[in-house]
Structure 1
Amino acid sequence: MAVHVASARIWSRGLQKAWSTWGCRLCSQSSSSTQPSHHPRTQAEKAKRRQAREKAILSSDVNDPGLIWSDKEKIAYTAALVPGEKKDTTLPFPQSYSPEYVEFGWYQWWEKQGFFSPQQHSKQPHAVDKYFSFCIPPLNVTGTLHLGHALTYRRCFGSRRMQGYKVLWLPGCDHAGIATQSVVERKLMREQGKCRRDYSREEFLKQVWRWKNEKGDEIYHQLRKLGASLDWSRACFTMDPGFSSAVTEAFVRLCDSGLIYRSEGLVNWSCALESAISDIEVDSKELSGRTLLSVPGYQHKVEFGIMLTFAYPLEGQGEVAVSTTRPETMLGDVAIAVHPDDPRYKVTLHGLHPFTERLLPIVTDSMLLTFNFAFICAVKVTPAHDHTDFLLSQRHSLPRLTVIGGDGTMTSDCGQWLEGVKRFDARECVITALMERKLFRGKKDHPMSLPICSRSGDVIEPLLKKQWFVRCQEMGRKAVQAVEEGDLQIIPHFYTKMWKSWLSNISDWCISRQLWWGHQIPAYRVTVENSKDTEEEQWVWGRSAAEARQRAAVKFGVNPDAITLTQDPDVLDTWFSSGLFPFAMLGWPQQTEDLKQFYPNSVLETGSDLIFFWVARMVMLGRELTGQLPFKQVLFHSDKYGRKMSKSLGNVIDPLDVISGVSLERLQGKVREGNLDPRESVVAMEAQKDFPKGIPECGTDALRFALCSYKAQGEDISLSVSHVLSCRHFCNKMWQTVRFTLATLHDAIFFFCIVTLFPPPNCDAKKKKIKKKISFLINLQKCQQFCVFLSIWGAVCTLMKGV
């Protein structure tokens, strides 16, 4: 018995030494100087920080040695093992810790045994009548995981299973309409010299599916390597037939209830994508004055941040000066608006357009009351290319003239001299023409906010288009109410203010996208045989073309055979289908057993940058279509990982490279294989010099342990490879401690554990004292409490302090 006690002391000292060496590093987040950001940064602040990061990278100390590490011996598991069979755990332990040896083969065995399936629940003797469900944020099929994504996959699913819950963690992948189509288009141009328009729609979609089948499973491979306990038998892709049916059903129901409607309105248009995008896909680039920027499709940089003034001649005599940052749009001017109290302009007068001879009425409008009368004399009115002017045109019944096409070139309404000219080239032509006519009055620096497409980097062009919209005001109000009444809990709480502010002022959501890859909108334009009304659009919708035909026959009171249907060629916004994910993945609209058992989901964890893109829309659509909130809690972690993970900053790190190790040459090869512009490539290559020898093999356990050691809810995460390497050292300490213990105790270890942890009733006081001490050190009950509240960080710290 004395041997047992002595060995226990040695064992305890070994663990205490490991804790003193590595534990304080792993669990020091609570005292870190990194604090949660209670006031999310504006786009201008983010842009400024990004520029500072780029500058810091490019001016970094050339003498900085970067990550220092020494090669460790890699030990392979060489015993015969059939994939999916259990490893032989009776083999002697190797002298040094090797992640490859330790981790080999286990995941395949877990998966084959069905440990990740909720069907295992009934086989467990400790099963309780509770469920825990979670849908993985569906990742883009185009992408791969990075360490930032991995933070989301560290929750307590294993602990919930051990507590007897029926657990479902469901994997999913998003078709990523814009991103996927762009990738395939670039691939076809690079390999075949063809663009999308060189194919029929069906041929192009075959190319996309071929690419998806070749490349689309890479993310699932990464998740398996991370050890994620996902039920792969339920894996869901948003373009699967079942999910596509759910998308169609949602669209039809929302149309029937009047929440989806078709209307002509100004949309945010990306000329590079030739598609509309939503408000929250528009970034604002703050300019302090004259700035030259690269724009997709232009060889030379384009000038922005300039206010240009020119004059419109008035009928009879005189002129009126107007100012604009977008002189190319003056070809679409239909009026001149003046201050209601300005005595200098009579509304009976008209301006004369210098290029089209069109008469421009002078109107007074209350809009100008919001400006200082002394500085704003008159403004040009371009309803088809400016949101404010569009509203003004509605008040004054003004026409709307589109002068920029969807491809970014000037339309025929501009005249032959500009037709087909690219918009920013046309800008220079207009300025030159104004100078020639002696109507140019000067230009000056002008601070401004430039709208940028977050998808393509293109400058957004407001264009007048007929599109499908979702009415969001009432659904947004209900989403706010859910948080206020405590039905939906947002963690950290400081995101609640942002949630309420945005949803209380939400605008209608444009869900049309002018793409080929995605869910084609199940709406049909109706043409009735021998109908005299051919100008006004007539639309119906349906779960199929046959259903739409029957609806049209009833709506217009004609024979179904007299109807011709043309399906809308546009597709739905990717976020529309993603917003259905929590219930569509479980079989909705059918009342499946999975939907009955696991909906609503227990919790959602995601990055705070998706609060409006995805989370708010899931809440709105879930409540509207199912009558229930899609989840009870939302856990946000910061969208910043020290330097925000970005391909252009060179700090996007593949988890597999951390798990298995990678050379610097291969890291830089990945940058060259990407689609970065030359400047971004320079920054990315420079940033990777942080790893002069590449990244060492750290293993899955070390990576997961490093991720768990962060208190990530809402806080900035400075996750570094050196931190993961420290966790690998900790794993080595544990390995050596266990080797020493086994070598010392031999077969007595089993008897020691049983007696000390579960002493018989007549056990003497000394044995009970040992049991009490070990229980106190490990403190499993407190770890379990942390897991109940989804605080892995707290559980890790408690466990490590115990050892």
Structure 2
Amino acid sequence: MKWNKQSLSGYAPNDIEMKWYDFWERNGYFHQEPDPSRKPFSIVMPPPNVTGQLHMGHALDNTLQDILVRFKRMEGYNVAWIPGTDHAGIATQVKVEQQLAKEEGKTRYDIGREEFLKHVWAWKEQYGSRIEKQVRRLGSSCDWSRKRFTMDDVCARAVREVFVSLYEQGLIYQGQRITNWCPHCHTALSDIEVDHSDVQGHLWYVTYPIIGEDDYIMIATTRPETIMGDTAVAVNPNDERFKKYIGKKVVIPLVNREAKIIADDYVDPEFGTGAVKITPAHDPNDFEMGQRHQLESIMIMNLDGTMNESAGTNYEGMTREECRKAVVADLQELGLLDHVEELEHAVGHCSRCKTTIEPFSTKQWFVKMEPLTKAALKAVADGETKFVPDRFAKTYNHWLEDVHDWCISRQLWWGHQIPAWYCDDCGETSVSRTDLTECPHCHSKHIHQDPDVLDTWFSSALWPFSTMGWPDETADLKRFFPTSVLVTGYDIIFFWVARMMFMTCEFMKDIPFEHVFIHGLVRDSQGRKMSKSLGNGIDPLGVCEEYGADALRFTLVTGNTPGNDMRFYMERVEANRNFANKIWNASKFVIMNLTDYDASFVPQDTNLTLADRWILASFNDTVRKVTSDIDTFELGDAADAVYNFIWNSYCDWYIELAKQRLYKSDDEQSKRTAQYVLVYVLTHTLEMLHPFMPFVTEHLWQHLPHEGETIMVAPWPQAQLQWDFVSDAATMNTMMEAIKGIRNMRAESNVPMGKKAPVTMVPADDRMASVLRTYEAYFHTLAFADKVTLLTPADSKPENAVVAVVPGIEIYLQLKDLIDVEKETARVQKEQAKLEAEIDRLNKKLSNPGFLAKAPDAVVAKEKEKLAGYTEKMTSLTKRMEDLAAL
């Protein structure tokens, strides 16, 4: 038996938290070697950006993972939690380019690719460890010896193997397609790198003359600057208004190009005029329509968003905004602009530089998705991988069932450079697992590698197995793959979860994880998404410094239900710091009373009091509930259960009832029994709380009698069957209800705390009478009872007393000598007068037809709720006046 017998000072989280993290890491408690004798449990940490900074989403995600990992470690599982960071291609490159411009006044093109990448690696070395330190501050017990980086040698080898393998299968190809293009960053973007926001725009109605007829067809467009790239006008084949025009030709305004009027089911007859211009090179839907109808695709913009020669000499060199103004003016002058309407519509912007995205038809590398999605869909349909909550499986299925080929190339320098080489002599393209120095087809030395890099999501899609050393068959891969659970937010199911699923199913022929545990977003106290623009973000590290990481973690998990957003209130953080302080003070009390503690003493059942048996039974129930809740990912419910047990049962009740036995010097066995139960329940409750609040629990556990070196690897608490005192627990609950009944009567009557009151109780049967006689001291200790009198149901009851009834007991409290009846009557009458005024006001308001017609339903409901509360309180005050009148 070990324990640190030094006394505890006041609770100061900053004094203990990093001390214990250093202790755990230094002693290797986060690391476990593959051990076939135990069940495996593994998690791969969703990799934050290598140059990123911890935000509340990270804090929530890491807290949930750490709870599961610490729980499974204590349950005896062979645990591996693999951390890592993502190279974050565009985000990191943008930061380094900004630094280069600020410090040296240069662009990446000025210094060249090789020199620029040296700058990026230097940036990564300088800032890459920042978020790792921040994750440590939160208490995340991940195995840092296994950490990975999406561009380290292990991951780079996996990336190249996957790319080449898919290429060899014909599942990676080059093609000309529409992509999200950022004219400022000069790269294609994934959907997740595009922020859509509503902007106030216009709908321009333009007439396109029909060739050979004195007629026209009118279209409506939000982008008149792309008219010069039109190669068709489309209508819905079922739209009676336009059937006569199908097959005819129009003149494209401003460029005088002939174009056909086509019919396509995609056209919405309700939008605009029902006829739309088709610009295949600058709109994703138009591109698909162009493919179906073999339309010409004309690029009228340069990669920087300016107009090129195909736009015409009048517009060449203009920005998109300048061109729009010029085109509208020219259409008006030609008499082709019919009218303009205001329109609010969603426009995509680059998430990094906020530039408006331009859909561009460019040559890119793509992954054929359809052949890869089948296994990923089947894995979820068959229940091999389960979503928690299961409703998110629909989101996952919907995206995979309607997925388009994935554009994986990015026009960046930072990232995994595409392993494709082009021969300048024979024109062949060669893809290789190793770097090429000559063309495999003609052996020419005149070859060059594709300058593009892979989408960041390509490398992170391999995360469940690349982190474990694949394509080598490592010991970690054999033991810890597939992983047990992925913890992630619902906002990246499309972009990351689905991609990990289909890549893993393809290359490992297995699922990447058994469960996908989905959490929501952390919003501010008003329910708004935290963002820089709103200025409502909260720094988790600042919260840790002020209140402690334990308080922050407990706040993030309590009240949190799988898949749902949560609101963050600083008041709750403060309350949870108070909870930690409550545990600290309770532990301090117990430790102070262990000076003569006998670690070898184990009480017999006959030594246990009613309160002992109740707290042990309650502890059993709490262990079962917390264990079950964590196993089913109801972490918020688990946290609430252990909170209620510690605060309400152990601290507020059991410690108070144990005090009289600790201070008794004439009954050594009773004292030792109280010590045993106090230590047993507190020690194992700290173990149960440890996954949620790791720091304070470790510190207190070390100061209590315990086995082992750290609470981290202490066995998870187990319910002891011999302590399932169901009947005794029920009896104690009745006693507690009686005590609470007396407390409530005293509070309602404003009895001063220092004054004790005589209590008369009428038990319903002899068994309850025996219990009340045996444990009469509980009422003296916790209900401020002076004299306790027991009556039978047949006895005359006290007059001039207030009465409370709990199951099995009637309670009479005589207050005449404890309160100033006249003064209390006046106080109640005054409160009644205030309530009457409020009830009258609300009744008039709720009977006013004008208010009911104009007020929102929520406001009306709130007022009705107030009225019901006031009416209930008035009933209570009326009863109080009756009791006072009887005194």
Q: Which segments of 5 or more consecutive residues in structure 1 lack a partner in the other structure?
A: 1-86, 292-303, 661-696
CA positional deviation for 1:571? 0.8
In structure 2, the residue matched to 1:659 is 544
In structure 2, the residue matched to 1:601 is 483
CA positional deviation for 1:730? 1.4
Aligned counterparts of 2:365 and 2:266: Cα–Cα separation in 1? 31
Q: Which has the higher contact order (CA 8 A, sep 6+)?
A: 1
In structure 2, the residue matched to 1:487 is 384
Does the alignment pair 1:453 with 2:350?
Answer: yes
Cα distance per residue 1:289-321 (max 9 Å; x no partner) = xx1xxxxxxxxxxxx233342444745865544
- Are the equivalent residues in 2 in contact too, given 1:329–1:403 (CA < 8 A)? yes
In structure 2, the residue matched to 1:747 is 595
Q: How does 1:429-508 map to 2 (within 5 A)?
A: 429-508=326-405
Aligned counterparts of 2:209 and 2:102: Cα–Cα separation in 1? 48
Aligned counterparts of 2:497 and 2:128: Cα–Cα separation in 1? 24
In structure 2, the residue matched to 1:236 is 148
Does the alignment pair 1:211 with 2:59?
Answer: no
Q: 1:109 aligns with which of 23, 30, 50?
A: 23
CA positional deviation for 1:161? 1.5
CA positional deviation for 1:177? 0.7
More deviation, 379-388/480-489: 379-388
Quickly say closer, same or farther: Cα 1:373–1:407, change in 2 above 3 A. closer
In structure 2, the residue matched to 1:592 is 474
RMSD of aligned alpha carbons: 2.7
- Are the equivalent residues in 2 in contact too, given 1:347–1:361 (CA < 8 A)? no
Aligned counterparts of 2:117 and 2:267: Cα–Cα separation in 1? 52
More deviation, 187-196/406-415: 187-196
In structure 1, the residue matched to 2:521 is 639
Q: How does 1:195-274 map to 2 (within 5 A)?
A: 195-274=107-186
Secondary structure of the equivalent of 2:533? helix
Cα distance per residue 1:210-263 (max 9 Å; x no partner) = 111111111111111111111111111111122111111111111112221111
Q: Which amino acid aligns with 1:146?
A: H
Quickly say closer, same or farther: Cα 1:498–1:368, change in 2 above 3 A. closer
Aligned counterparts of 1:372 and 1:716: Cα–Cα separation in 2? 36
In structure 2, the residue matched to 1:665 is none
Does the alignment pair 1:393 with 2:290?
Answer: yes
Quickly say closer, same or farther: Cα 1:601–1:368, change in 2 above 3 A. closer
CA positional deviation for 1:781? 4.2
Q: 2:102 aligns with which of 185, 190, 199?
A: 190
- Are the equivalent residues in 2 in contact too, given 1:252–1:541 (CA < 8 A)? yes
More deviation, 325-334/778-787: 778-787
- Are the equivalent residues in 2 in contact too, given 1:311–1:441 (CA < 8 A)? no
Q: How does 1:310-321 map to 2 (within 5 A)?
A: 310-312=207-209, 314=211, 319-321=216-218
- Percent identity reads 40
Cα distance per residue 1:357-414 (max 9 Å; x no partner) = 4x313333234775269943x5433221123332333344332210012111111222
Q: Which segments of 5 or more consecutive residues in structure 2 lack a partner in the other structure?
A: 647-887
Does the alignment pair 1:787 with 2:630?
Answer: yes
In structure 2, the residue matched to 1:153 is 62
Aligned counterparts of 1:764 and 1:398: Cα–Cα separation in 2? 88
Aligned counterparts of 2:329 and 2:554: Cα–Cα separation in 1? 64
In structure 1, the residue matched to 2:695 is none
Q: Which amino acid aligns with 1:421?
A: M
Quickly say closer, same or farther: Cα 1:237–1:104, change in 2 above 3 A. closer
Quickly say closer, same or farther: Cα 1:346–1:502, change in 2 above 3 A. closer
Q: Which amino acid aligns with 1:366?
A: D
- Are the equivalent residues in 1 in contact too, given 2:7–2:588 (CA < 8 A)? no
- Are the equivalent residues in 2 in contact too, given 1:313–1:353 (CA < 8 A)? no
Aligned counterparts of 1:699 and 1:333: Cα–Cα separation in 2? 61
In structure 2, the residue matched to 1:98 is 12
Secondary structure of the equivalent of 1:602? strand
Aligned counterparts of 2:463 and 2:264: Cα–Cα separation in 1? 45
Secondary structure of the equivalent of 1:589? coil
Aligned counterparts of 2:48 and 2:638: Cα–Cα separation in 1? 28
State the aligned residue count. Answer: 634
Quickly say closer, same or farther: Cα 1:781–1:441, change in 2 above 3 A. closer
In structure 1, the residue matched to 2:412 is 515
- Are the equivalent residues in 1 in contact too, given 2:227–2:253 (CA < 8 A)? no
In structure 2, the residue matched to 1:18 is none
In structure 1, the residue matched to 2:304 is 407
In structure 1, the residue matched to 2:451 is 569
CA positional deviation for 1:624? 0.6
Q: How does 1:519-598 map to 2 (within 5 A)?
A: 519-529=416-426, 538-546=428-436, 552-553=440-441, 558=442, 560=443, 562=444, 564-598=446-480
Aligned counterparts of 1:323 and 1:147: Cα–Cα separation in 2? 44
Aligned counterparts of 2:161 and 2:438: Cα–Cα separation in 1? 16
Aligned counterparts of 1:343 and 1:502: Cα–Cα separation in 2? 35
In structure 2, the residue matched to 1:362 is 260
Quickly say closer, same or farther: Cα 1:383–1:707, change in 2 above 3 A. closer
CA positional deviation for 1:353? 4.5
In structure 2, the residue matched to 1:718 is 567
Cα distance per residue 1:36-73 (max 9 Å; x no partner) = xxxxxxxxxxxxxxxxxxxxxxxxxxxxxxxxxxxxxx
- Are the equivalent residues in 2 in contact too, given 1:107–1:224 (CA < 8 A)? yes
Does the alignment pair 1:322 with 2:219?
Answer: yes
Aligned counterparts of 1:242 and 1:403: Cα–Cα separation in 2? 43
Aligned counterparts of 2:269 and 2:638: Cα–Cα separation in 1? 57
Aligned counterparts of 1:406 and 1:369: Cα–Cα separation in 2? 29
TM-score by length of 1: 0.74
